[in-house]
Chain A
């Protein structure tokens, strides 16, 4: 495996003291990899990834980014440390234009660099160029997701962290979003994502973890996990694809 960028060890996190949702989860993400975190509904996937981004209080364990301890770093310092997070929903500023959505995320860039990076994002996401003056709330579901990802990428993050990028999208847009992520990885960006849509995520991922009851229970190469009987069992006896359709209870 390549050099480790993100190293999460024995993470414990939860909104209320004494009620951990994440209970000792460990993962590593190597440079240039796409790592997928799967798990049945209520496994704590979302809390796990939000805790890494500084949005859920961490009660134990460590998060290292390029060897630096970022466990206690406040959420607003994460972009400066090199971690860009894309939330599952409400991941754009609805009343600001597309361009202002990008620009407001450029706080850590040099002033000269801002217009350059914005043009680079338009080049990477041509759909957004025509809408640059449009209020972001008028974008389609797929375009919103593109804007949210562009907004995260604009600061050259060391790792891009996404919470269920396909959630709430129509099937047509789901494939668009995963093609987009595969393309981003080709440009050298490291990606960690949590997904319900196991089949699509494993198709683009390098490695994957299965999170159950707030703990990492299984790990493997993405392409092999799809037929791994252990994974099916962890998904309460269902195949991941069925769980991915929201069937896990």
Chain B
């Protein structure tokens, strides 16, 4: 068996993990499963692509950075895309989720997110057609790193970016007052208000983190695979499986869950065939719910 599946799995796992952070935060703080989270990825990816095109139209062709397939325009566009995705998430919360949340029934919000997901996806198809598109059509040469494993410069850069972002979010959650407020709100919403936490501002931060990371995950998929309106929706099941496997509310859990599912998917493709890929997250999700429903990093209270 070739060990190449490790690199493939880690990359898929990074995309799943970055998305799962948003899913797990929304679930634990806003208390609903946001089915539109995958579509934030797709919107972030398309927004970044549009920005890259706009920069290209203004500055002409820009040389890529070192061995990478992209230059500074993509990095600038990514930051703009993250801001855009964040605004999209905040807007959706303002016009849809927050109103329904105040009625206090989680299932209504979940259904609304399902509707929002379809609407967002259809808007993308309508605007950009369903034909796949790419950040770059250049083909990168994968470098051998031993044990029969090959990796491209883009892949190395994106794995590093994931590590930096995950570490940053983890520090934010555990070392800052904002992070502690988020933990507090997820553990006891009424007490959080009593100790002076402004729920509305914590909710905003939650959407900002989730939206920004969704955009990064979407752009990663765009760089390594392709950009399609369904790209985020197809990630939904693995992301939820990762969030539940890691333990709802846990940032390290969501990322580790993502990596495990990514590796399992890549391994399954090699061992039993690509047609089983999608079944892997489903099997892992079922197994976790049967064996340890609180997940790897979940804690039973009391």
Contact = CB atoms under 8 A, between A and B. Distances in A.
Interface of A: 53-55, 74-80, 85, 87, 90-96, 100, 103-108, 135, 137, 151, 155
A96 B195 contact: no
Contacts of B191: 87, 90-93
Nearest to A155: B196
Interface in B179-208: 180-181, 183-184, 187-188, 190-199
Contact of B196 (A96, A108, A137): A108
A104 B195 CA distance: 8
Contacts of B192: 76
A75 B193 contact: yes
Interface of B: 177, 180-181, 183-184, 187-188, 190-199, 299, 301-302
Contacts of B184: 93, 96, 104
Contacts, number: 74
A78 B196 contact: yes
B216 to A, nearest CB: 28
B196 A107 contact: yes
16 contacts: A53-B194, A74-B193, A76-B193, A76-B199, A78-B194, A79-B195, A80-B196, A87-B194, A91-B191, A93-B184, A96-B187, A100-B183, A104-B181, A107-B177, A107-B196, A107-B197
Given A100-B180, A137-B302, A105 B195 contact: yes
B56 to A, nearest CB: 45
B301 A94 contact: yes
A137 B301 contact: yes
Contact of B195 (A55, A74, A107): A107
Chain A contact residues: over half helix, strand or loop, or mixed? loop
A104 B193 CA distance: 11
B196 A55 contact: no
Nearest to A136: B187
Query: Of B177, B184, B196, B198, which is in contact with the most chain A CB atoms at under 10 Å from its CB?
Result: B196
A238 B85 CA distance: 64
A76 B299 CA distance: 27
A96 B301 CA distance: 11
Contacts of A85: 194
A76 B301 contact: no
Contacts of A75: 193-194
Q: 10 closest pairs, A vs B, by CB?
A: A79-B196, A105-B195, A75-B193, A104-B180, A76-B193, A93-B187, A107-B196, A94-B301, A104-B184, A76-B198
Nearest to A90: B188
Nearest to B181: A104
